[in-house]
């Protein structure tokens, strides 16, 4: 089958022929109809996570999929041939830039029925990230104030909608040209990141979801109330993450050093900082599908590319400035 892979870190993405996927007892074989491109694909291709995720090379990229079940393993009971499904395969089993893939049944969910396969493919990674940050980690509830950075982006656009569904007042950063867009998604306060300093305008927030890192994360700590929490998805990783991931001691020590500054700043301000590296969950995707079909969440797709132009889709995301997600389709 055809797929798109890298032969080495920072090497170009190119078409290859791969063997058909092997199906384990708990696996579901999916004919992929659409996938989306994520920042995680770019970071893995650049080698940014090679100490944490030790993938063999050549590596087929891709973390999201929407498609049709064409085979099931002996122990699969929740899915049957013909089901329309979506997933973010677990770490170690990525590779959705391909015609077919075998996915563990626990990572899979029946797709929302109210949206297209293109829109569905845009959701898994970013929607799981938003859910795990706001609901699982942040425990957001009505009356709270939440800051979400990059509200017109893949994670931000979903996180705004989810935070509103959970009853929060939402502030977000965006460019002036996207202000109406993020307001329509549910943002109550919009900060123009080109001309305004959110740290000077916001205060008393319960939660900040940071997708940028660096100085932006450090400033986000200052808008929180005492006892508030910042969740970072761009880093730096924390010792808690390193322990949970079972990383070797030398790497855990390095990660501890990397995040020492921001953790110290958080402690001095009476707030906390957590690093989130989202995990696969078919159960959570099933809940997200219900929210989509109820109208609480709508996908935001900025550009689409045909499967043969997968490298162009990755280049488009790397170039920045896009609204929502980049989706690759197999028509």
C-alpha neighbours within 13 Å on the C-beta side of residue 324:
18
| Range(s) of the domain holding residue 185 | 125-275
Number of domains, the chain: 2
11 inside domain? yes
pLDDT of residue 324: 95
- Same domain flag for 183 and 320: no
| Res 54 pLDDT > 90 | no
Q: Is residue 66 part of a domain?
A: yes
CATH code at position 102: 3.90.180.10
Q: Give residue 235's pLDDT.
A: 83
Residue 139: which residues within 8 A CB-CB, separation 6 or more? Answer: none
Average pLDDT, the chain: 96
Do residues 113 and 149 share a domain?
Answer: no
Q: Is residue 319 very low, low, confident or very high in pLDDT (cuts 50, 70, 90)? A: very high
What is the CB neighbour count within 10 angstroms for residue 321?
9
User: 51 falls in which pLDDT band (50, 70, 90)?
Assistant: confident
Ranges 37-46, 187-196, 238-247, 289-298: which has the least confidence: 238-247
Percent of the chain whose pLDDT exceeds 90: 95
Same domain, 202 and 224: yes
**Given this model, what pLDDT does residue 245 score?**
86
DSSP 192: E
pLDDT (tens digit, 9 = 90+) per residue, 131-153? 999 999 999 999 999 999 999 99
Residue 180, domain CATH:
3.40.50.720
Q: pTM of the entire structure?
A: 0.96
Angstrom distances, CA of residue 170 to CA of 77, 185, 274? 40, 10, 20
Looking at the chain, which runs of residues are DSSP E strands?
2-6, 14-17, 27-37, 59-60, 65-72, 84-87, 100-104, 108-110, 145-148, 169-174, 189-192, 205-210, 224-232, 272-275, 301-306, 325-329
Tell me, what's the pLDDT at 269?
Answer: 98
């Amino acid at each position: 089958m055809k797929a798109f892979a890298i032969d080495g870190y920072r090497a170009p993405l190119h078409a290859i022929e791969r063997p058909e996927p092997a199906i384990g007892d708990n696996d579901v074989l999916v004919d992929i109809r659409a996938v989306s491109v994520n920042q995680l694909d770019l970071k893995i291709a650049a080698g940014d996570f090679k100490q944490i995720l030790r993938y063999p090379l050549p590596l087929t990229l891709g973390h999201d999929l929407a498609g049709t079940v064409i085979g099931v393993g002996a122990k699969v009971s929740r899915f049957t041939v013909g089901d329309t499904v979506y997933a973010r395969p677990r770490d170690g089993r990525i590779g959705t830039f391909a015609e077919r893939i075998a996915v563990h049944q626990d990572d899979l969910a029946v797709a929302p029925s109210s949206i297209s396969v293109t829109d569905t493919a845009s959701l898994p990674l970013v929607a799981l990230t938003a859910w795990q940050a706001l609901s699982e980690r942040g425990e957001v509830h009505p009356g709270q104030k939440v800051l979400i950075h990059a509200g017109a982006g893949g994670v931000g656009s979903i996180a705004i909608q989810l935070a509103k569904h959970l009853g929060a007042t939402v502030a977000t950063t965006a460019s002036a040209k996207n202000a109406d867009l993020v307001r329509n998604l549910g943002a109550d306060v919009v900060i123009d990141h080109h001309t305004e300093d959110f740290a000077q305008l916001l205060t008393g927030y319960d939660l900040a979801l940071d997708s940028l890192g660096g100085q932006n994360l450090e400033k986000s700590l200052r808008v929180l109330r005492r006892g508030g929490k910042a969740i970072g998805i761009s880093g730096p990783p924390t010792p808690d993450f390193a322990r949970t991931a079972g990383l070797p001691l030398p790497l855990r020590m390095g990660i501890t050093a990397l995040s020492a500054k921001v953790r110290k700043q958080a402690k001095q301000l009476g707030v906390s900082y957590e690093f989130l590296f989202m995990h696969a969950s078919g159960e959570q995707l099933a809940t997200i599908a219900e929210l989509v079909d109820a109208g609480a969440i709508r996908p935001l797709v900025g550009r689409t590319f045909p499967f043969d132009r997968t490298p162009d889709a990755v280049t488009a995301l790397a170039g920045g400035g896009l609204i929502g997600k980049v989706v690759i389709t197999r028509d």
